[in-house]
């Protein structure tokens, strides 16, 4: 078969022929350069030859760790980093970095949000996180035991609106640094602050603040 190698934008680099395969190879290697049958810029060259376009390729090293994962059950990775020191809750400021004001808890009647929110200072947050930094949570309600007519009990979430609320980076980092820092949070749909046991991090069953 007649074939050609071209750049991603269609310039001819090299012409060659290869034996007739039952299945046309998807990849052609020319020295260390790699070419694929895919036409990345959809040029649709009018060529009667098989055209391979140069590909952006990344060579992945097959490390010992990877071989281990293939043959044995996954074990949690050993993290050698020392645990961060406990958070110093006296190191507080408002989300914009300014000092905490006496009236920051005043509710804005328009939004239902506080005038401002307290976070741990940037310096304190930088000492290390004990949880991932997550910015979006879902108002799922609180687990409640329900008894049906025939006396069967089940647990259901009650009182949530299933809406996602996204918070700012400073708040998210404060949760990650000190999960117990807050006792409640805001739902952007209900426009009220509710206890944390009504919220989970988006797409998890993990309670916010745990």
Closest CA to 183 of 168, 198, 170: 198
**Number of Cβ atoms within 10 Å of the Cβ of 118:** 19
- Which range, of 59-67, 113-121, 128-136, 139-147, touches Zn ion by CB under 5 A? 139-147
**Residue 182 CB, nearest approach to Zn ion (Å):** 16
Q: Which is nearer to Zn ion, 3 or 187 (CB)?
A: 187
Contact 173, 133 (CB under 8 A): yes
190 binds Zn ion per the rule CB under 5 A:
yes
Report the DSSP pairing between strands 136-139 and 199-201: antiparallel
Residues 35-94 that bind Zn ion (CB under 5 A): none
Q: Which is nearer to Zn ion, 47 or 144 (CB)?
A: 144
34 binds Zn ion per the rule CB under 5 A:
no
Give phi and psi for 49, each to the nearest 5.
-105, 160
Q: Which is nearer to Zn ion, 93 or 171 (CB)?
A: 171
Report the DSSP pairing between strands 2-6 and 118-120: unpaired
- Which range, of 11-19, 29-37, 63-71, 187-195, touches Zn ion by CB under 5 A? 187-195
Please give the structure tokens belonging to residue 183: 């006792």
End-to-end CA distance of the chain: 63
Q: Which is nearer to Zn ion, 125 or 139 (CB)?
A: 139
139 binds Zn ion per the rule CB under 5 A:
yes
* Strand ranges, E, within 149-204: 153-159, 164-166, 184-187, 192-195, 199-201
Q: Which is nearer to Zn ion, 88 or 164 (CB)?
A: 164
161 binds Zn ion per the rule CB under 5 A:
yes
**Residue 164 CB, nearest approach to Zn ion (Å):** 10
- Footprint of Zn ion (CB under 5 A): 139, 161, 187, 189-190
């Amino acid at each position: 078969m007649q074939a050609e190698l071209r750049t991603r934008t269609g310039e001819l680099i090299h012409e060659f022929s290869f034996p007739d395969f039952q299945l046309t190879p998807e990849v052609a290697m020319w020295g260390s350069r790699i070419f694929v049958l895919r036409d990345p810029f959809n040029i649709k060259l009018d060529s009667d030859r098989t055209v391979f376009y140069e590909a952006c390729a990344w060579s992945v090293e097959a490390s010992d760790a990877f071989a281990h994962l293939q043959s044995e059950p996954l074990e949690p990775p050993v993290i050698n980093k020392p645990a961060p020191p406990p958070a110093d809750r006296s190191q507080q400021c408002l989300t914009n970095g300014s000092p905490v004001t006496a009236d920051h808890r005043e509710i804005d009647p328009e939004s239902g949000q506080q005038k401002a929110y307290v976070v741990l200072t940037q310096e304190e947050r930088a000492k290390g996180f004990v949880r991932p930094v997550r910015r979006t949570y879902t108002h799922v309600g609180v687990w409640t035991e329900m008894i049906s007519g025939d006396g069967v009990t089940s647990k259901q979430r009650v009182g949530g609106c299933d809406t996602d609320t996204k918070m700012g980076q400073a708040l998210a980092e404060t949760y990650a640094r000190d999960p117990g820092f807050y006792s409640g949070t805001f739902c952007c749909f209900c426009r009220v602050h509710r206890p944390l046991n009504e919220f989970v991090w988006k797409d998890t069953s993990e309670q916010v603040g745990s």
